[in-house]
Amino acid sequence: MTPTTIPPHAQVALHEGRKLEAVRRTREATGLGLQEAMAAVEAWEAEHPTPEALYRQDAREPGVAPSRLVASVVAVLVLGLVAWVFLA
């Protein structure tokens, strides 16, 4: 098993946000030590980020587009203003 490959049931745990469970399952399936299993899980996670991880990464970077909620509120306000101008 390469360092960036973890068992499928560990991948499921990781996608559910249970990193420690993924490490435990990787250790049980591969016989790796704690540090090696943690490195394997983190390497796999870096190559296959979850949507939540991508969102957290985007939130830390400057110049990121506004969240969907803010964009939705702005769109509703603009549409309301346009409707008010044309219907008034």
Per-residue pLDDT for the chain (88 aa), expressed as one digit of tens each? Answer: 444 689 999 998 988 889 999 999 999 999 999 999 999 999 998 888 766 666 666 556 555 555 777 888 888 999 999 888 888 7
Indicate the domain borders of the chain.
Answer: 8-87
Amino acid letter, residue 63: G
Q: Given the structure tokens 């870096």, which residue do they identify?
A: 46
Identify which of 71, 2, 11, 67 has the alpha carbon closest to the alpha carbon of residue 32: 2
Distance between CA atoms of residues 83 and 88, nearest Å:
8
- Using a cut of 0.75, tell me whether the model's pTM lies above it: no
Q: Which residues contact 26 (CB under 8 A, 6 or more apart)?
A: 6, 7, 10, 32, 37, 40, 41
